């Protein structure tokens, strides 16, 4: 006697870089007809999960330009490849609010005085944490974390 069973599978992947993250996930359901065999359920589950994983990993490599440009050939960028950039030109993106909040919390926990805080900003030739680039904020976060670990040791 055959039965129909609903199988659900999902896969999720989180990628973190420079204190920012992106999440990719997919959940699928499939109705499977089985003939009183758990191996059929196991096989269908493995295939469904593998499909979810394959699609999520493919989702990570999607070129946003092709999504925004419907006439474009999938997987082919309309722009010529960019020349390699030096770290200074590729890191001009402003620090995120999350980075700034984290920096302020690190400084508070380390009990930095206002003068010490101004000194840190002066090293980067900035008037405020909001003026830091994402790269500068990452460098400062790493430095403050390392200082905190040394104090704790």
Dig out the tokens for 43 from the structure: 């096989």
pLDDT of 150 > 80? The answer is no
Q: Provide the mean pLDDT of the chain.
A: 77
Distances (CA, A) of 6 to 10, 11, 51, 81: 14, 17, 16, 45
Q: Where are the beta strands (DSSP E) in 35-136?
A: none
pLDDT of 45 > 60? The answer is yes
Cα 132 to Cα 107: distance, rounded to the nearest angstrom: 15
> Across-strand partners of 22?
15
Residue of 82, 81, 76, 80 whose CA lies nearest to 63:
76
Q: Indicate the pTM of the whole model.
A: 0.41
Tell me the backbone φ, ψ of residue 73, rounded to 5 degrees.
-75, 130
Residue of 140, 18, 141 whose CA lies nearest to 90:
18
pLDDT of 49 > 70? The answer is yes
Q: Which helix (H) or strand (E) holds 149?
A: helix 134-152
pLDDT band at 10 (very low <50, low <70, confident <90, very high): confident
Beta pairing, strands 3-17 & 20-34: antiparallel
pLDDT band at 76 (very low <50, low <70, confident <90, very high): very low
In this structure, what is the dihedral angle of CA atoms 26, 7, 54, 42, given to the nearest 10 degrees?
150
What's the mean pLDDT in 36-64?
A: 79
């Amino acid at each position: 006697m055959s039965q129909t069973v609903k199988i659900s599978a999902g896969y999720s992947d989180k990628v973190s870089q420079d204190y920012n993250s992106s999440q990719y996930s997919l959940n699928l359901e499939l109705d499977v007809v089985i003939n009183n065999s758990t191996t059929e359920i196991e096989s269908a589950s493995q295939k469904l999960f593998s499909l979810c994983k394959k699609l999520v990993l493919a989702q990570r490599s999607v070129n946003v330009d092709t999504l925004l440009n419907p006439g474009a050939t999938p997987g082919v960028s309309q722009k010529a490849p960019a020349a390699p950039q030096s770290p200074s030109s590729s890191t001009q993106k402003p620090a995120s609010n999350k980075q700034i909040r984290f920096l302020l919390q690190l400084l508070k926990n380390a009990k930095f005085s206002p003068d010490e805080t101004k000194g840190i900003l002066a090293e980067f030739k900035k008037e405020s944490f909001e003026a830091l680039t994402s790269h500068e904020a990452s460098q400062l976060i790493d430095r403050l974390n390392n200082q905190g670990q040394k104090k704790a040791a």
